[in-house]
Structure 1
Amino acid sequence: MSLVDTIRNAFVPINREGWPFIAGFAGVSVVLGVFSTSLFWIGVILTAWCAYFFRDPERVTPVDDRLVVSPADGIVSAVGPAVPPRELGLGETEMTRISVFMNVFSCHVNRSPVRGRIVAIEHRPGKFLNAELDKASAENERNGLVIDSPHGRVAAVQIAGLVARRIVCWTEAGNDIAVGDRFGLIRFGSRVDVYLPQSAVAKVAIGQTAVAGETIIAEFGAQAVSPLVRVS
């Protein structure tokens, strides 16, 4: 790695959604510093964490319509058949669901798993259960995008979590979206479910680390086969 690359990687861009929070943490740190040096440094650490949380690094996305990439950074928490949320209009038939759980240290910028046209965006209020729980898909507050992709309709559902109380979506129904494009963000710890046609073959396992816009989580096509998995 060159010196230029090292310097560039040290200064990861911060998403615009984070600037008000970073400024707020910094302001509180200054005020606390008037009363206590210890409190000031605690505030500095929390400000640094806030900046880290809202990081928005560039990603290198594989461009192949057969491939589905992860919509989020985090840990794969579920892989298997599931009925998509009713409001998405995808019917009562089970689809292949892959879930990625984000903790408070994950990058929370969400990216499109496939390319296509967004035919619907549906937001539903709900609870704020731990997003790692399977029932969070049905009971928690969520925002779902339905994408008309080259291999059928795919849904990406942003799910609020125990700490996350704000789902942000930057796109609209009717827009075209490319695989890996940023479409939203969730504050502060949450999950994204991807619902795929049954012709998709999952390429990840529960417990695997995923990187938004880069990790291939599924593949379409007759040649796609499920990967062998070893736990060590």
Structure 2
Amino acid sequence: MSILSSIKGSLTPIHRAGYPFILIGLAGVAGFSFISPSMAWIAIIVTVWICYFFRNPSRTTPVEDGIVVSPAEGRVSMIAEVLPPRELALPAEPMLRVSVFMSIFDCHVNRAPVTGRIRQIAYTPGRFFNAELDKASEHNERNAIALETPHGLVAVVQIAGLIARRIEHWVAEGDDIEVGDRFGLIRFGSRLDVYLPLGTPLCVAVGQSAIVGETVLARLGGEPAKRQYKTA
């Protein structure tokens, strides 16, 4: 294997959503280099951080009937029994909500927690409270997605945080999606909530670190089978 191939294989891909910000950072580096070397160095550090923020690494996702994986990279910040997001028009019955908080240093590409069909997508404008607060689920800007699965309805909600100002998703109502598929991104610093049928057995606890597309949050049901994996 050549040195060039080794270097290429060790680099983490950057999601295309970050390209405009990287170009702005590089423009800042070029501009400040003629004005202030110290500011140019600051611009270089910021540009490197932008590349890091928009990283889009491969993940090895467990594939098994009824499995629920983390849609975000970060920390399991809350687990609660609550009513589902009202904008999705789901039955007004309590569901199990698992919240994963992403700091500005976590990978922000979001992945599907389950395999299913997208029944509804609902964007709701709102405030920008700290995403770790419970009220963020109801008051913050968010994008809610309802998924039909063989084991019932599941919802995943992208929630903007204190400094997040942009929620993106790349799926549409009626799309089929597989567990671990990339479906969106939030910038910068935010949270994802997963709503599961009440009584769903959990595999995580509050405070646990979660790896997007890899950490198993829960099992919806189905007969345990030999687990397979996919890397993407």
**TM-score, length basis structure 1:** 0.91
- Evaluate the alpha carbon distance shift between residue 49 and residue 86 of structure 1 in structure 2; reply closer, same or farther with a 3 A threshold: same
- Evaluate the alpha carbon distance shift between residue 4 and residue 36 of structure 1 in structure 2; reply closer, same or farther with a 3 A threshold: closer
Give the deviation of 1:207 after TM superposition: 1.0
Whether the aligned pair in 1 keeps the contact of 2:26 and 2:47 (CA below 8 Å) is yes
Residue aligned with 1:107, SS:
coil
TM alignment of 1:82-161, pairs within 5 A: 82-161=82-161
Q: 1:47 and 2:47 equivalent?
A: yes
Write the letter of the residue equivalent to 1:75. Answer: R
Whether the aligned pair in 2 keeps the contact of 1:163 and 1:189 (CA below 8 Å) is yes
Question: C-alpha offsets along residues 92-143 of structure 1, whole Å, 9 cap, x if unaligned?
Answer: 2110100000011111000000001001000000000000000000000000
Runs of 4+ in structure 1 deviating by more than 2 angstroms, as ranges, are 3-10, 220-224
**TM-score, length basis structure 2:** 0.91
Residue 177 of structure 1 corresponds to 177
Give the deviation of 1:4 after TM superposition: 9.6
Whole-Å separation in 1 of the counterparts to 2:197 and 2:44: 46
Whether the aligned pair in 2 keeps the contact of 1:79 and 1:202 (CA below 8 Å) is no
> Larger RCO: Structure 1 or Structure 2 (Cα < 8 Å, ≥ 6 residues apart)?
2
- Evaluate the alpha carbon distance shift between residue 211 and residue 39 of structure 1 in structure 2; reply closer, same or farther with a 3 A threshold: same
Residue aligned with 2:154, SS:
strand
Task: Structure 1: give runs of 5+ residues left out of the alignment.
Answer: 225-232
Task: Structure 2: give runs of 5+ residues left out of the alignment.
Answer: 225-232
Residue 25 of structure 1 corresponds to 25
Whether the aligned pair in 1 keeps the contact of 2:73 and 2:102 (CA below 8 Å) is yes
Residue 205 of structure 2 corresponds to 205
The root-mean-square deviation of aligned C-alpha atoms, in Å, is: 1.8
Whether the aligned pair in 2 keeps the contact of 1:65 and 1:150 (CA below 8 Å) is no
Whether the aligned pair in 1 keeps the contact of 2:22 and 2:50 (CA below 8 Å) is yes
Give the deviation of 1:36 after TM superposition: 1.2
- Evaluate the alpha carbon distance shift between residue 79 and residue 198 of structure 1 in structure 2; reply closer, same or farther with a 3 A threshold: same
Write the letter of the residue equivalent to 1:87. Answer: E
Whether the aligned pair in 1 keeps the contact of 2:65 and 2:222 (CA below 8 Å) is no
Whole-Å separation in 2 of the counterparts to 1:213 and 1:167: 19
Identity %: 54
Residue 228 of structure 2 corresponds to none
Residue 227 of structure 1 corresponds to none
Structure 1 stretch 167-176 or stretch 195-204: which is displaced more?
195-204
Structure 1 stretch 198-207 or stretch 73-82: which is displaced more?
198-207
Whether the aligned pair in 2 keeps the contact of 1:199 and 1:221 (CA below 8 Å) is no
